[in-house]
Amino acid sequence: MATDSTSSASAGATPGLSFGSVAEAYDRGRPGYPREAVEWLLGDEPLAVLELGAGTGKLTEHLVALGHDVHATDPDPRMLDRLGTRLPELRVSQTSAEEIPAADASFDVVVVGDAMEWFDHDKALPEIARVLKRGGSLALIRNVRDERIPWVKRLGNLIGHHTAGEGIGEEIDSSPYFGPAEDASFKQWQVIDRASVQDLVRSLPDVAGLERTAQESRIREVLAFYDDFGRGMDGMQLPYVTECFRAVVGIQPRTPRPEPTPAPEASDDTPETGAEHDAEEYVGEPTVPVALAPAAEPPADDDTGMLLIDFR
């Protein structure tokens, strides 16, 4: 699930549930992800993929369309309901990143789209490392509005600023569970009009948490900005930089083994049962495979020639 940098996991007791009340506005107003960025993240071979914080499925549809075996999760059932509308045959789980109900070494890649800052990193990072196979990767992708453009920075004054180029984040960079990260960036444009810009604002956690009168006041401010800089029914193109990161798992925590039952003393001629070996191999219960459905790729709109246009 996406969020602006003005919000953080400390904003409420259950930050992962900040978006369910505005799931439809979120789905209509937030940008998707460039397909080439998702291809860079996962490569061109089918993989077993766990998506955390899948939200309404804007990233999930690319993962499925590229042929990966996807298990999509989110802690908010209202977001998952919207995801089910987009991908009705995809099995999903209402799951947090801090407690992943999967066996050790279950997935090739764990993917997170714009949701990492909502996680409790002290709990989530060892859980992510635990469910990754040896050599598997944590893959992050996030959309950042390109505030190098003056009018986009002015919009940020109203809805919260985005900061590009901050890397994968100190929590992961210093984590013993993952190695150094590779990174890549991609440009994209989101076409917004007078209706979708209101959905964008309503989907922001800082706005969703306001009283109704305060929400409407913020939306009026953004509409005034849009009427000044937009192009009426033709809309406007909002530029984004999509930042991508891949970090290979290093240390892999294991599921705690049950306490062994003391064995009765055996005589010298008692054959070995292999119980000691079985205890060493315990890694948890297996998971059930998910059924997948193909997803249509959303249209991409990348007109870099429009980058410096002032829409007044």
Spatial contact of 311 and 82, defined as CB atoms under 8 Å apart: no
Compute CA distances 58 → 65, 190, 229, 260, whole Å: 12, 13, 27, 45
pLDDT < 50 positions in the chain: 1-13, 270-312
Instruction: Give the CATH number of domain 9-145+162-188+240-254.
Output: 3.40.50.150
Give 191's strand partners: 237
β-partners of residue 71 are: 50
> In angstroms, rounded to a whole number, what is the distance separating the alpha carbons of residues 97 and 92?
14
Exposure on the CB side of residue 126, measured as CA atoms within 13 A: 6
Structure confidence at residue 174 (pLDDT): 93
Handedness of CA 83, 89, 95, 96 (dihedral sign): negative
E runs forming strands in 82-174: 92-94, 107-113, 132-145
CA 8 to chain centroid, in Å, comes to: 15
Sequence spans of domains, the chain: 9-145+162-188+240-254
Comparing CA positions, the residue from 250, 252, 262, 254 lying closest to residue 280 is 254
Pairing of the two strands 92-94 and 69-74: parallel
Distance of CA 101 to the CA centre of its chain: 18
* pLDDT for the residue numbered 14: 52
* Residues in Cβ contact with 192 at an 8 Å cutoff, skipping those fewer than 6 apart: 29, 200, 235, 236, 237, 238
